[in-house]
Amino acid sequence: MLMNFLMDQLHFRYKRMSQCKVWLDNYTGQYYPGNLIQGKVILNFNSETKLRGIKVRIVCHEHTEWMGEESYYDSTRNKHETRMTQFRGDNDAFATELILHGGHSGTTSLPAGQHMYPFSIVLPTNLPGTYSCDEGNITYKLISIVDRPMAFDYQDELIFVVVAPIDLNLIGRSDLLEPTSYSNDKTICCWCCAQGPISLDVELPRKTLTPGETVNITARVSNMSNTNLEGVRFKLTQNITCKVDEPNRDDKTIYNTLVEQNDVGLGAHGEHTYTFPVMLPMNIILPNFCMCRLFRVEYTYKVTAKLPGVHSNLEVQMNPEIGNVQIGQAPTSATSGYTMGFQVPTSPSAPNQGLPYPPVGGVPVFPPSAPPAHLKEQDQGYGGGEGTNSEPPPPSYDSLNLKN
């Protein structure tokens, strides 16, 4: 009996608690840089509420973490030791704030009932894309805040996905489309006696590559030594570097082999020209890390002439520019379903579809006119009050499987 009474009292108090919810009206699974975000902040107050302002924030946050060894000085043993510790890094790559009612100072009040504040925010065109790996992630959050003086803020948030195509036109280097060549050579020695030189010359028709197109890379090998080459290999590697800054600065690089091709070897005193047709599949993941401080990506072409035994291989290495839109081409409109070269994370098609608004706590009260919109952008993180939202937040898209 006592338990039932307590549960009834808790349920009664929960129904009377004030609520803050944020909703998206035009979300279809992902946004693109430059898209318009439309939604509303819905408030349910059980009594007259004093506040400084009502605002929404969009934050693009990058986070990295991993376990690693840290060196420290043990004063009891008077020597340096190592221990396992968690390294991490956090940074807001982008943040913007829109004030829907009130401001940063002063106080105002709203009566009991339901209040709706629509908002529209245009995303900048130079944003990173949503990303996740074992070492970290890049996430976008939409946060609604009721800033209350001398009290905990009401707050709600949801996660959304941004797909950011890489436009090679933004690099601004037309010379990337011109043919280039690279070379390397070495002399094979045996018991301090030179056998003869081996040279490797690689030619690229251009230094750019996009998914779905083929680039023929030519490698000419001249083997004037007495040693047979075991083979010639081409490899395209994606190198993603993740950085941390606490407790110490460190970095870790993830190497992903995107393309690998092997060809036959070459006998002593022989010459041969190899052709490697390189094509990236359309569904390849090309992360966009523009404006990011903790993530960086570069790509490497490597052609290797493999030598037997103790001899070191002869290699030529290049760094191409890889993106989704080739230089001289116009990007496809995002609204027409442009997903070239992307793996879009699985998420609900619309976060609010089929869900009712929060229960009405009174007669809906709409602003008499469009609320003043003071847009403020900042590069660093926000300070802010703690959220005390009394109701579970709306769907946060656990299917993204992003680490917090």
CB 202 within 8 A of CB 304: no
pLDDT per residue rounded down to tens, the chain (404 residues): 555 544 454 343 444 567 899 999 999 999 999 999 999 999 999 999 999 999 999 999 999 999 988 887 888 888 888 889 999 999 999 999 999 998 888 888 999 999 999 999 999 999 999 999 999 999 999 999 999 998 899 999 999 999 999 999 998 788 899 999 999 999 876 655 557 899 999 999 999 999 999 999 999 999 999 899 999 999 999 999 999 999 999 999 999 999 999 999 999 999 999 999 999 998 898 999 999 999 999 999 999 999 998 889 999 999 999 999 999 888 765 433 344 333 443 333 344 444 444 433 333 333 433 333 344 444 333 333 333 444 444 334 344 334 44
The SS3 assignment for 177 reads helix
Cα–Cα distance for residue pair 218/182, rounded to 1 Å: 11
Q: Does domain 168-322 match CATH 2.60.40.640?
A: yes
Write out the two tokens for 230.
Answer: 């075991």
**Contact at 8 Å (CB) between 147 and 380?**
no
CB neighbour class for 142 (10 Å; exposed up to 12, middle 13-18, buried from 19): buried
Q: Which residues contact 163 (CB under 8 A, 6 or more apart)?
A: 30, 31, 32, 129, 130, 334, 339, 342, 344
Cα distances (Å, whole numbers) of residue 196 to 140, 227, 305, 307, 353: 58, 9, 15, 14, 72
Burial class (CB in 10 A: 0-12, 13-18, 19+), 257: exposed
Q: Could you tell me which of 137, 171, 170, 143 has the C-alpha nearest to residue 158?
A: 143
CATH architecture of 18-163+344-400: Sandwich (2.60)
Q: What are phi and psi of 15, to 5 degrees?
A: -65, -25
For residue 269, what are its two tokens?
A: 């005193």
Q: How does pLDDT run across 388-401, given as a tens digit for each residue?
A: 444 444 334 344 33
Q: How far, in Å, are 36, 151, 301 from residue 239 at the CA level?
A: 33, 47, 11
Quote the pTM value: 0.76
The residues of the chain that CATH labels 2.60.40.640 are 18-163+344-400, 168-322
φ and ψ of 141, to 5 deg: -125, 140
Is residue 288 a contact partner of residue 164, using CB atoms and an 8 Å limit?
yes
| 183-202 tens-digit pLDDT | 999 987 665 555 789 999 99
List, in order, residues 6 or more apart from 399 with CB less than 8 Å away: 345, 346, 347, 348
